[in-house]
Amino acid sequence: TVNTLKIALGGNALQEAGKPATAEAQLEVVEKTSAYIADIIEKGYSVVLAHGNGPQVGMIANAMTELTRSDPEKYIPCPLSVCGAMSQGYIGYHLQQAISDEMARNGVNKSVATVITQVVVDMDDPAFKNPSKPIGSFYTEEQARRLAAERGYVMKEDAGRGYRRMVPSPRPLRIVEDAIIRTLIEAGHVVISCGGGGVPVVQEK
C-alpha cells in the first residue's frame, strides 16, 4: 500500500522573507523546497501539494490594476478570482519544473501535474463581510489609506510589519476537481492543487 502525504507549502517555502516577489526569487526558493519533496517521493510516498499564494496573487492583482489604469478604455479590471487562478498556474509551473528536475536527478520516474482548483463556498459566509486574508505587499499607514480611498481595498495592519490588502477567506465546502485529483494520485502522479485555498465559487441551486 502506498502512503499518501498531503504537504502544505507556506510563504517561506515559496518566497524568501524580505525579498521582492519576483519570478526569479520564487524559483530560487522553490528549487530548495523541491529537493526535500523529491526525497520524500523517493522514499515511496505518494505526494499531493497545496500552497499559499498571498504575495503572488497580490502582485498579479496590482499589475492588472495598473494596466487598467494605464488605458481604461482598452483594459477592463481583472477579477480577483482570475488573479487567483493565474497564481495557481504560476506557482504550479515553478513547482512542476523544480520537483521534476529533482526527481530526475534521483532516478524517480514520475510526472507532476498542477490542477487549477475551485472550491465551493457559501455565498452567505460571514468571511465576505470581514476580509481577513492578507495578500500582496506591505504598505505604510499613509499608503494604505490612499489605496483604500482610491481602490476601495480593505487594508489592515499585519503583525507589526505594515499594512496589507485583506480579501475574504470563506470556508471551503468541497473541492470541485476532487475526482480529478484523486484519479491523478491513484495513477501515481505528483499533484499540486488547492493553491491559495482554491478559487472560491458558489454553486447555483
What pLDDT sits at residue 115?
A: 98
What pLDDT sits at residue 66?
A: 84
**CB distance 37 to 47 below 8 Å:** yes
Confidence of residue 21 (pLDDT cuts 50, 70, 90): low
User: What's the whole-number mean pLDDT along residues 133-148?
Assistant: 91
pLDDT at 202 over 90: yes
Q: Which of 9-13, 115-119, 155-159 has the lowest mean pLDDT?
A: 9-13
Query: What's the whole-number average pLDDT of the chain?
Result: 91
Higher pLDDT, 138 or 183: 183
What pLDDT sits at residue 2?
A: 66
pLDDT at 200 over 90: yes
DSSP the chain: -PPEEEEEE-GGGTS-TTS---HHHHHHHHHHHHHHHHHHHHTT-EEEEEE--HHHHHHHHHHHHHHHHH-TTT-PPPPHHHHHHHHHHHHHHHHHHHHHHHHHHTT----EEE---EEE--TT-GGGGS--EEEEEEE-HHHHHHHHHHH--EEEE-TTS-EEEEE--PPP-EETTHHHHHHHHHTT-EEE--GGG-EEE----
pLDDT digits (tens, 9 = 90+) for 28-83: 899 999 999 999 999 999 999 999 998 889 889 888 888 887 887 788 878 999 99
What pLDDT sits at residue 145?
A: 95
Distances (CA, A) of 115 to 74, 88, 96, 118, 171: 31, 8, 11, 9, 20
pLDDT digits (tens, 9 = 90+) for 175-194: 999 999 999 999 999 999 99
What pLDDT sits at residue 85?
A: 96
